[in-house]
Structure 1
């Protein structure tokens, strides 16, 4: 008869032997939810998820130049499709894991009204946005200002972040009074965490569909396949929704 302690040790050793590590490139807007999902994934599967956060456009360049990422969680749907066409991602593996929401946010309470009229009043010196060439949320911000007819007037006041995380930091630090960021950066469990905000109506910019894809370097890694499957599960979806994303 196998003693309980020996059985437990045997199971732990078995799990350790089968555990793998997956390298993920993750869009900066998805930093907080992915950290929570990765912790749950590691606990539930035994696999280790190594996360790198940044701008989607820069990840495309890095992957094209041989970066060792095995899974991409993009801030758009075009980059994963492009990687498939380039032969750098596994055809048929991509899917939309979240649809993002753009928000105009200030760290100051009561500064941004719930209709975004603060943009028309122009009573500010700096407006922070992410680089629209590499960050989809930055592109959505430009589309929004264009539709509102405010782009020519406000463009000289831009403080441009390399990615959405840096854009957020510019607002927090006071280098910009307000700016366009991802709702997920300031939204927790169904409510705004701090500051003041205007959630930009979805009809003012193209949908921010965020796709995941299995990269060519990860096609033989069981941890990569397991992570993508986990993203579609109820636990991950619940976490994603709690940060203000649509599913």
Structure 2
């Protein structure tokens, strides 16, 4: 049986359809260089961002140091989500980032992690007493989490003892894989890589005290190719919103 749509409902349907068409018409894609440690939360944020705004975030993940080299050599990224606060500052001074667009989107946490339950103790004493052969960390010249790891070992007076056992990943994602695969018995990774719903998802971990290394202040910056992009502006605004911040906090970051 045919049911006639009431005028009011017809108007609501038309308004909803019109909004969807307008949203699609103005939807755009923004190219984002994302620090490897921020992979999981950014994938969730990008999905929510697209659902809420219609804009699509095209994500590339890697080491901040490599992104800096690519951007200075003309890579057309529109936004950088760095693993530190110094790289966006340098890009701004280099004229590669738009002035006064930098802000801290997250403060990261370094952890010593093993895929083996009970292997890493709550005080990190395993660094001094463990019989491990390999200790994984990200390349400190490219990855801020790797730099933080070397600073922590320096302050603990363990660099000379542990350096022969280092296995360096190109970025924090590769470092995580070294440990997850068992090729390294333990390693320094980002808390966000091993935390799910506020708990360590597997294995064992020691949260490295913040006073043992420089703050891992992760800054975002609008790059020159994104200067006139509505999608880029929308994403930077979205990162500061409640929905994105809730996702970020769920992965162990602070602000």
Q: Shorter chain as normaliser: what TM range?
A: over 0.9
Q: Which of 41, 46, 58 is the matching residue for 1:38?
A: 46
The equivalent residue for 1:92 is: 100
The equivalent residue for 1:16 is: 24
Q: Deviations over 1:146-172 (max 9, x none)?
A: 111110111111111000000000001
**Residue 147 in 1 paired to residue 155 in 2?**
yes
The equivalent residue for 1:237 is: 245
**Residue 246 in 1 paired to residue 254 in 2?**
yes
1:4 to partner: Cα distance: 5.2
Q: Secondary structure at the match of 1:17?
A: helix
1:10 to partner: Cα distance: 2.7
Gaps of 5+ in 2: 1-6
Q: Secondary structure at the match of 1:110?
A: coil
CA RMSD of aligned residues (A): 1.1
**Residue 190 in 1 paired to residue 169 in 2?**
no
Q: Which of 146, 152, 164 is the matching residue for 2:172?
A: 164
The equivalent residue for 2:4 is: none
Q: Deviations over 1:175-201 (max 9, x none)?
A: 100000000000122111110000000
1:141 to partner: Cα distance: 0.3
Q: Secondary structure at the match of 1:120?
A: helix
1:7 to partner: Cα distance: 4.1
More displaced, 225-234 or 7-16? 7-16
The equivalent residue for 1:124 is: 132
Mapped to 2, the partners of 1:228 and 1:7 lie a distance apart of 28
1:6 to partner: Cα distance: 4.5
The equivalent residue for 2:231 is: 223
1:13 to partner: Cα distance: 1.7
Mapped to 2, the partners of 1:120 and 1:28 lie a distance apart of 28
Mapped to 2, the partners of 1:234 and 1:3 lie a distance apart of 32
Count, aligned residues: 247
The equivalent residue for 2:3 is: none
Larger radius of gyration: 2
Q: Deviations over 1:220-241 (max 9, x none)?
A: 0010011000000111111100
